[in-house]
Amino acid sequence: MLARAQVRVDPSTEGVRRAKASSTSSTDHGPPTLWPVDLARLDFVVVDLETTGLSPAHDRVIEIAAVRVRDGQVRGRWRSLVDPGMAVPSYVTALTGISTGMLARAPVFRELVDPFRRFLGGAILVAHQVSFDNGFLHHEFVRLGEVGFAPDLLCTIKLARRLFPGLPAYTLESLIQRFGLTLGRQHRALPDAMATADLLNMLVCRAVSDGAESWHDLRRLADGPRAQLTTADRRRLRYEPARLRELPVSAGVYLLKDADENVFYIGKSVNVRRRVADHLRGGAEGQPRLRRHLRYLADVQVIPAASELEALILEARLIRRYLPVANQQLREQTHYPFIRIDVQSSFPRIQLTRSVAPDNSVYFGPFRSARVVGHVVDYVRTAFGIRECTRERLPDGRSCLLLDLKKCLGPCVGVVSEEEYRAAVERAVTALRGDWTEIIDGLDARMVELADREQFEEAAAVRDTLRHLRSFAGALHRLAELQTLHAVLIERIDGLVRLSVVRAGRLVHEAVLTWPDGRRHLSGLCRRFFAGAQPDPITSDAADEAHIVSAWVRQRQHHPDCSVLDIDLENLPSSIARIRAELDRLCVDSSAAGTAGPDEPEAKKSVRVRRASGRALVTRPPADHRSEVVAVR
């Protein structure tokens, strides 16, 4: 084992310089570094993933790379694109350069399991924010029925924070630039993994200089408490207005962080620099939480977006992930309730649940209000006599109070047969599917009758039940609309056309085309996203995004230079023909904008309304380049 004095450097810039010098040879197979024997004999595999999003449970891996490191030297590399079985969002394509088309012939993750396991072996898995990469790998293995993936982990972010407290930022790019290391093409798996391998070597050398001699020492250092920043450190790290010029003037999502790298606010804007400058000037009057935290601002991270709609969706995803304290409205996916009916049981129950399991039960949801859903579940149980008890074997001869109150059909004591009970459950399911007219009319009449008898408390209770049922029926109707919202949104931008593809209420793709040069790509694009099986029902994770897309379509109906067309999944060629015709018309209108005849009324110059597939399309000549897509139902 190397003596500590052999690699001892002080924790000043000299320590950084020597660690950096040691790391520069890590990819050159040059002379061995000064790693202690206990560390030099270990294998570390640095992993980097590119994914379709931020949720391991709902997003997928699209590229994976691994770099094997021993004693500071790169001993092997492995990479592969991965077919995720879903569309790659356009903001991911803009960030990584990986498109859905590039992955059409890539292997699925199942085909990569054995090669990846062989390359990993028994090595320590390293990543920059290892919880993210390992989380995705864990979920991919679980989907394949493999639950034994549990390598030792090392996070280079944690290690850097312990070894170099008080830096302005700990992103891979920031650390690479600060320590003068080399970073290839950013946001691609192999270049990022190679850069992380260099960073790992530098961090290990610095840890060794501070006394670490074994894997146990290194892991204890990375997992230990952070160094407490002094008041002077926090003042030094405070975000200066001069740094605003580093921010883009385009659309994107921004994350405001404090000196401890905690995200305290997430926002979006079509001009990120201007919006952050407004925050720094005190432009958050209606956001008291944000105003209180702005004095702690130390860094701004920006994720570019191709459009304002994409920024809205990305903002919602990031808020769900980070739950920033200064965002006024926070919604975790676990807040969304479902109604579950365990139809596999001999005597099914109806209950409120927060998750959907692959258990062949019938689920309704996700809904936004647990209070409303709870009232509806209580009403349905009482109205149709559905049991609440959790007993497995019925009948068992033990009755409960609900039977005496005539709120349950009594399967526990054999008062009702299995066939009669199932008939009651079927009627309840029919009601939950949205057929509330007869029930609501009956309750309306009951409320009036009770009021006429001056039984006002009972009438008020029926009134409250009616309010909850109507709210629930409206929520069911909105969910059905979202699930059947298939459309292409078209807008003109700077002589190009942007197509936003919406299927089942979700934005699945955005593309920018020249027209008519892009005519040959249109058919393949539409068939890729609209042909095939019906999409899965909207999940709790996608509920916010579906509502955002729906609101975008609804609220943008008076914006200029845009159109939206329904997609008939049963007659896709006809829908493609209508999209072509609309693109032709929009491009002709663009070339003729401002040439309306002198006798044409000004209102007709600015608004033209026509019909296509039963939906009114409103188009307006361009007023500026910030075109947006709208629909008028």
CA angle, residues 93, 97, 102, in degrees to nearest 5: 85
In SS3 terms, 175-236 reads as: HHHHCCCCCCCCCCHHHHHHHHHHHHHHHHHHHHHCCCCCHHHHHHHHHCCCCCCCHHHHHH
Q: Residue 459 corresponds to which tokens in the numbers above?
A: 């009438």
Q: Residue 344 corresponds to which tokens in the numbers above?
A: 């596999």
Q: Decide if 471 contacts 369 (C-beta within 8 A).
A: yes
Whole-angstrom Cα distance, residue 207 to residue 160?
Answer: 10
CA 313, 318, 323, 329: dihedral to nearest 10 degrees? -20
Characterize the bridge pairing of strands 61-70 and 43-51: antiparallel
Active-site choice (138, 187, 335, 559) = 187
Q: Decide if 336 contacts 539 (C-beta within 8 A).
A: no
Query: Which 8-state DSSP code applies to residue 106?
Result: S
Q: Residue 611 corresponds to which tokens in the numbers above?
A: 């019909």
Total number of residues shown for the chain: 633
CA 576, 577, 581, 586: dihedral to nearest 10 degrees? 0
Q: Residue 322 corresponds to which tokens in the numbers above?
A: 């980070």
187 is catalytic: yes
In SS3 terms, 536-568 reads as: CCCCHHHHHHHHHHHHHHHHCCCCCCEEEEECC
* Residue 393 amino acid letter: R
DSSP states along 437-478: HHHHHHHHHHHHHHHHTT-HHHHHHHHHHHHHHHHHHHHHHH
Q: Decide if 478 contacts 495 (C-beta within 8 A).
A: no
Coil vs helix vs strand at 486: coil
Task: Enumerate the active-site residues.
Answer: 187
